[in-house]
Structure 1
């Protein structure tokens, strides 16, 4: 099937003009306001930053993650419920296709099974069950993070089976021939039945591990409060946990954000009125890979830790977990809850701000959160990817209006979107964290 690349889709992109500045003081700069009428009444148009382009339209499945390759191929993933596939490739402006094939999106024996009255996701390590996040390293390897936990009866009372060993996995796909190169699974003392692998980042430089194969940092967003980071040595396949249940990774109880001006409470069919339960969510490495920035979905605070503490394996060092706990830094509030993170070649850390219909930047020089782009079409930016072409791409999936959060009523309206904006100051994808030539796994 013919695949549509970034360059081909760009001719369809539509732009909304806005102020092109990322380094301004919003309390004194009038660029975020317009005036109207004979008396020049000031109003907020809901936009600032570089133009926002509509790059792709989703009409069949609501997306979660995305990734853009260095040749311009675009991939998307979808939380598995009733969808026929969970990993796809963009083929034109309005369509996607199963990737690498429908067969590899179809676990043998079905998506889940029931054991002694308890539902478990598939333990199929060879097929994709429910893909949550994607990442492409500079060597054009597509990394696929499969939670192994599909949604069940998503239009009724929400249900998510526990993970079965073998189902949750990290898969490397060679984009030059569309073949699976490596698959990593996790032992039960690292990935729990209630674990939910939400996002991932890589440092592929040979010197970051003794094996020389690079390292993966995986976010565990367990909604049973067993949150933390899963660290994977890509050279040996060994994995371990860090910051498990550290307060900086836990959800904030009673958090009530506002989406599009409406206070949001969690309304799950068959359950009392509640609050969003997700803890650790966004995570991103610094320019040189020495710091991890992160935060829970339900927190206004940004945290960081030096990656040396995450990379210390507690299996080899009995004090590794304590050192990690003792070296978390609270960087302060950023101006709202944040979802996914991304970064660029200048060290900017992009934070998706669903309650603000915006993306902010954390500037490690000014130590402040700064405005980057805002647009009324940014209705829950769920994941972002800095491409090799100087753009940041981000999925729009209207998540607060999904049935699981609204008494079983689906308030979303197709199409979902991939939006993109030009990066500031000539920024591009961060290539410093490199690519390893080690393929042991």
Structure 2
């Protein structure tokens, strides 16, 4: 029931390209022999990363879900080591987490500290705004603890914090991915919009829309069939591409239907009536990204590869970054036997519309 991934883009055809890791690699290898060579940018030896972002100056930041991990947001200091970021005060220690799941420390209602960071995004133009029971699959959230935080790279202060009312982010919500559209004409505040995935395992997945100027937030497409798990297995912001985790299908919706004001009584109906099924892509996807040519990249765990979606067959020229965290080797996906082998890795790829296969 988890809505997993999203990306803002405009153009869309499907392709999958693989890559044979060099003999010198210390990572798992893949038999594929297609695509550009990857550069192993940073090795993770202590904590398995969830999300990464690289600044325009080459600084690499990584997020980590909690449990026994020392910190939840870190920055690489060299190729094999990280430090917590931006400070120890903001990275809440494990001792400050006041709920647990199966004995694993997890939650907090702290509205200022970093609890369990899932997604991270860097931009040269930071958004600004006033600071504003039964069987379960995963731990419940605590009101006030879930938040979006803006941090300046220049001197590391927190310049914005957004929390969500219970009507938007409930106890069974789980924020997963985030994308920004900073065009000033989207809302009356002229500060842009954040699109956030609620990956609720309890059956309420959908989109959370955040006005970065006012701090107001609302929901769209909650429990829409395209947001629900199935039984079987960009850049100008005009179209939202998204997918549930156990579906081979890719969907899209005009982003206008998502960021339309909740005061419009027909806005939710318009969002439901404007979903497009773009067809099968060859497997399930976990986490989307895109580039200035409109390519939509989709990591495909089933194939240990990344696919891209683009009807114009445009070639991508430049670097992008991706995590290898061996997610499919976790013990709960392998009958209780964990198969992850250190290190994890953040890699960079020089792309011409061709994507790597990852072990």
User: What TM-score comes out, normalization by structure 1 length?
Assistant: 0.68
Q: Is 1:300 the counterpart of 2:248 in the alignment?
A: yes
Q: Is 1:46 the counterpart of 2:40 in the alignment?
A: no
Q: Hey, which of these two has a bigger chunk of strand by percent?
A: 1
After superposition, residues 249-260 of structure 1 pair within 5 angstroms as 249-255=227-233
Cα deviation for residue 109 of structure 1 reads 6.7
Partner of 2:276: 329
Q: Is the CA contact (8 Å cut-off) linking 2:15 and 2:309 kept in structure 1?
A: no
Larger radius of gyration: 1
Q: Is the CA contact (8 Å cut-off) linking 2:52 and 2:63 kept in structure 1?
A: yes
After superposition, residues 193-212 of structure 1 pair within 5 angstroms as 193-212=171-190
Partner of 2:351: 423
The structure 2 residue matched to 1:346, chosen from 267, 290, 293, is 293
Q: Is 1:231 the counterpart of 2:183 in the alignment?
A: no
Partner-residue secondary structure (3-state), 1:206: coil
The structure 2 residue matched to 1:72, chosen from 32, 46, 58, is 58
After superposition, residues 167-182 of structure 1 pair within 5 angstroms as 167-182=145-160
Partner-residue secondary structure (3-state), 2:90: helix
Q: How far apart are the structure 2 equivalents of 1:348 and 1:24?
A: 10
Q: Is the CA contact (8 Å cut-off) linking 2:67 and 2:106 kept in structure 1?
A: no
The structure 1 residue matched to 2:75, chosen from 66, 73, 89, is 89
Q: How far apart are the structure 2 equivalents of 1:219 and 1:395?
A: 19
Partner-residue secondary structure (3-state), 2:188: coil
Q: Is 1:411 the counterpart of 2:339 in the alignment?
A: yes
User: What TM-score comes out, normalization by structure 2 length?
Assistant: 0.83
Partner of 1:139: 125
Q: How far apart are the structure 1 equivalents of 2:58 and 2:52?
A: 12
| More contact order relative to length (CA 8 Å, sep ≥ 6) | 2
Partner of 1:260: none
Q: How far apart are the structure 2 equivalents of 1:242 and 1:216?
A: 13
Partner-residue secondary structure (3-state), 1:80: coil
Cα deviation for residue 335 of structure 1 reads 0.8
Alignment deviations for residues 378-432 of structure 1 (CA, whole Å, 9 cap, x no partner)? xxxxxxxx9xx92111111111222343454432110001122112279xxxxxx
Structure 2: gaps (5+ residues): 1-12, 21-29, 129-135, 355-359
Partner-residue secondary structure (3-state), 1:198: strand
Change in CA separation of 1:125 and 1:109 when aligned onto 2, cut-off 3 Å: farther
Change in CA separation of 1:335 and 1:113 when aligned onto 2, cut-off 3 Å: closer
Q: How far apart are the structure 2 equivalents of 1:362 and 1:328?
A: 17
Partner-residue secondary structure (3-state), 1:222: coil
After superposition, residues 266-281 of structure 1 pair within 5 angstroms as none
Cα deviation for residue 107 of structure 1 reads 5.7
Deviates more, 1:187-196 or 1:389-398: 389-398
Q: Is the CA contact (8 Å cut-off) linking 2:251 and 2:278 kept in structure 1?
A: yes
Change in CA separation of 1:247 and 1:304 when aligned onto 2, cut-off 3 Å: same
Alignment deviations for residues 167-203 of structure 1 (CA, whole Å, 9 cap, x no partner)? 1000000111011000000000100111110000001
The root-mean-square deviation of aligned C-alpha atoms, in Å, is 3.0
Partner-residue secondary structure (3-state), 2:121: strand
Q: How far apart are the structure 2 equivalents of 1:107 and 1:181?
A: 22
Cα deviation for residue 47 of structure 1 reads 2.5
Change in CA separation of 1:138 and 1:48 when aligned onto 2, cut-off 3 Å: same
Q: Is the CA contact (8 Å cut-off) linking 1:120 and 1:162 kept in structure 2?
A: no
Count of aligned positions? 323
Q: How far apart are the structure 2 equivalents of 1:25 and 1:171?
A: 35
Cα deviation for residue 24 of structure 1 reads 11
Structure 1: gaps (5+ residues): 1-22, 34-43, 143-157, 256-285, 373-385, 427-441
